[in-house]
Amino acid sequence: MSETSSQVATRLLPRWTQPPRDLEARVPGSKSLTNRALILAAVARGRSVLTGALDSDDTRVMRRALDRLGVSVRAADGGSTLTVDGCSGRFPRETAELECGNSGTSLRFLAAMLAAAGRGPYRLDGNPRMRQRPAADLIQALNGLGAFASSELGTGYPPLLIRVEEPGLDGGFAFVKGDVSSQFLSALLMALPLAKGPSSIEVEGDLVSKPYVTMTMKMMEHFGVIISNRDFKRFNIRPSAYTAAHCAIEPDASAASYFWALAAISGGSVRVVGLDDASVQGDVAFVQVLEHMGCRVDRNARGIQVAGGPLRGVDVDMNAISDTVMTLAVVALFAEGPTRIRRVGHIRHKETDRIAALATELRKFGAEAIAHPDGLTILPPSDPAQLVPARVSTYDDHRMAMAFALTSARLEGVIIEDPGCVAKTYPGFWEDFEALRLQAQASRE
Ligand SMILES: O=C(O)C1=C[C@@H](OP(=O)(O)O)[C@@H](O)[C@H](O)C1
Ligand SMILES: C=C(OP(=O)(O)O)C(=O)O
């Protein structure tokens, strides 16, 4: 039961006969931190070493792209230690075709960095879904700062073409929309210190996923560049050089959400090792939502533990932690009363339209689900015994697969289609999930 290849069409999940009790889970490194560290190390002066890095489809996209741009990234320890020889702000290859799969961070961060640290033409493409994920706001901002960026098909979506005239991006002033994806802003912030002159970026509309912008600024600081911002509205960036750094990547908090939710649904307890409230990842706040639903949360030096109890539905704004919406929606199936998830309309632009996908799949289990423009209401049956196992479509979305796997904590016979899609951010998910189930079972025998 260790298939993660996409050739495996389905995975039948055994029901957990015992809840996990006082078990520990270790999750791989953060995708968002790994891809930021990689791109910043690539343009820094000197050799950087990243430890605890994530080795998955999304980080391989970034590594391959940097390789094509002439930056050496050497992997050791199964891909978790990466040594990057920085190019001091100038990519060695002046033109390249870069394939970004469905990695939003890779495509958007690279697009801006190419304008600042390259010459071009560069072409960035992705899989069919990536060709439906917005990029127009980023293109527009880059062009306002002196780049020649365009959508090849004129759609505002990838493939993107990027070039700049010698000697590089001008800087200056640009607006960027904040209500579609924070990745546009993060991409510009990381690239603009390499522009010729100072720059200011003003965010238009409500900025989504704010903790990721804080993460961007913290990582920039780690590589030696400090920028100023007022209320996440206006950012001022002075020309500066990145310097190589040692970077210990935290475990991925979005991946951790599946194990915390497992404890919530099963009534057991799981500690995810290596995360605490001081994490730079906003998604650690997911445990607070579980606390509101009735779980107990214990934070100590080893990590954060969630212990499940009777669950009640919640009304929650998940704008800042929207990668955990799928996890919460599945927890809500097992709670008493409705759960309303608000201010996450932007998740329609991710690996799939996540609001539509969730509503469809939740209904298969016997819940009512209402899709709203900004989120979702989940109305579980009044008696959890009325929930039925289902065959879950995953829409090539790793988070749909991992979140719905949690239903097997309480239901026999759940089937997950295309389980290999977890490789986007967590290739070893099924092995880790099954190992924990066996541990739970063994602890009661
Ligand atoms: O900057 C990042 O690393 C990310 C930002 C978020 O995207 P949006 O800003 O598009 O919500 C998040 O969903 C994604 O998984 C990673
Ligand atoms: C939205 C996600 O990824 P990205 O935008 O980086 O493709 C995700 O990992 O849930």
Q: What is the pLDDT of residues 175-185, one digit of tens each?
A: 999 999 999 99
Residue 355 falls within a domain, yes or no? yes
Residue bearing the CA closest to ligand 2, atom 5: 104
- Calculate the alpha carbon distances from 121 to 95, 252, 275, 364 in Å: 5, 34, 41, 47
Domain count, the chain: 2
Pocket of ligand 2 (CB under 6 A): 102-105, 323, 350, 399, 425
**Which H or E run includes 316?**
strand 315-317
Residue bearing the CA closest to ligand 1, atom 8: 181
| CATH assignment of the domain containing 318 | 3.65.10.10
Average model confidence (pLDDT) across the chain: 96
How far is the C-alpha of 278 from the C-alpha of 258, rounded, in Å? Answer: 20
Domain-ending residue, one of 237, 270, 289: 237
- Which listed residue (137, 252, 283, 323) is catalytic? 323
Q: pLDDT tens digits, residue range 59-108? A: 999 999 999 999 999 999 999 999 999 999 999 999 999 999 999 999 99
pLDDT for the residue numbered 230:
80
**Pair (223, 318) in one structural domain:** no
**Pair (41, 21) in one structural domain:** no
**Pair (321, 197) in one structural domain:** no
* Residue 238 scores a pLDDT above 60: yes
**Pair (204, 350) in one structural domain:** no
Return the exposure string of 392-427: e unless at least 16 CB atoms fall within 10 Å of the residue's CB, then b.
bbbbbbbbbbbbbbbbbbbbeebbbbbbbbbbbbbb
- Calculate the alpha carbon distances from 233 to 178, 200, 205, 206, 281 in Å: 9, 10, 9, 9, 20
| Closest ligand to residue 346's CA | 1
Q: 197 is in which domain, residue-wise? A: 31-237
What atom in ligand 2 is closest to the CA of residue 181? 5
**Which H or E run includes 372?**
strand 368-372
Task: Give the mutation target among 106, 188, 323 for probing the ligand 1 site: most ligand atoms within 8 A of CB.
Answer: 323
**Pair (227, 284) in one structural domain:** no
Residue 353 falls within a domain, yes or no? yes
* Residue 110 scores a pLDDT above 90: yes
* Residue 323 scores a pLDDT above 90: yes
77 catalytic, yes or no? no
User: What are the DSSP calls for 73-118, one per residue?
Assistant: EEEEGGGTEEEEE--TTS-S-S-EEEE-TT-HHHHHHHHHHHHHH-
Task: Give the mutation target among 181, 280, 397 for probing the ligand 1 site: most ligand atoms within 8 A of CB.
Answer: 181
- State which amino acid sits at residue 258: Y
Contact residues for 327 (Cβ-Cβ < 8 A; gap 6+): 257, 258, 261, 286, 399, 402, 403, 406
Binding site for 3-phosphoshikimate, residues?
A: 31-32, 36, 181-183, 209, 323, 350
**Pair (369, 316) in one structural domain:** yes
What atom in ligand 1 is closest to the CA of residue 32? 3
The verdict on the CB of residue 58 being under 6 Å from ligand 1 is no
The verdict on the CB of residue 319 being under 6 Å from ligand 1 is no
Binding site for phosphoenolpyruvate, residues?
A: 31, 104, 133, 183, 354, 399, 424
For Cα atoms 53, 59, 61, give the angle at the middle one, nearest 5 degrees. Answer: 155
Global pTM value? 0.97
| Closest ligand to residue 30's CA | 1
**Pair (314, 206) in one structural domain:** no
Which band of pLDDT confidence, cut at 50, 70 and 90, is reported for residue 4? very low
Residue 69 falls within a domain, yes or no? yes
pLDDT for the residue numbered 445:
61
Residue 212 falls within a domain, yes or no? yes
d(CA 134, ligand 1 centre) in Å? 13
pLDDT for the residue numbered 10:
97
Which band of pLDDT confidence, cut at 50, 70 and 90, is reported for residue 5? very low
**Pair (153, 16) in one structural domain:** no
**Pair (431, 309) in one structural domain:** yes
**Pair (268, 169) in one structural domain:** no
**Pair (106, 147) in one structural domain:** yes
Residue 393 falls within a domain, yes or no? yes
The verdict on the CB of residue 182 being under 6 Å from ligand 1 is yes
- Calculate the alpha carbon distances from 256 to 68, 153, 212, 433 in Å: 32, 38, 17, 11
**Pair (257, 233) in one structural domain:** no
* Residue 3 scores a pLDDT above 50: no
* Residue 245 scores a pLDDT above 50: yes
- State which amino acid sits at residue 346: H
Residue bearing the CA closest to ligand 2, atom 1: 350
Residue 244 falls within a domain, yes or no? no
* Residue 115 scores a pLDDT above 50: yes
d(CA 425, ligand 2 centre) in Å? 9
d(CA 260, ligand 2 centre) in Å? 20
For residue 29, the 8-state DSSP code is B
Averaged over 346-372, what is the pLDDT? Answer: 98
d(CA 100, ligand 1 centre) in Å? 15
What atom in ligand 2 is closest to the CA of residue 183? 5
Domain-ending residue, one of 237, 265, 298: 237
Domain-ending residue, one of 185, 204, 237: 237
Contact present, 30 and 250 (Cβ < 8 Å): yes
Q: pLDDT tens digits, residue range 17-50? A: 999 999 999 999 999 999 999 999 999 999 999 9
pLDDT for the residue numbered 175:
97
- Calculate the alpha carbon distances from 108 to 38, 158, 261, 387, 441 in Å: 14, 10, 30, 40, 43
Residue 85 falls within a domain, yes or no? yes
How far is the C-alpha of 125 from the C-alpha of 102, rounded, in Å? Answer: 9
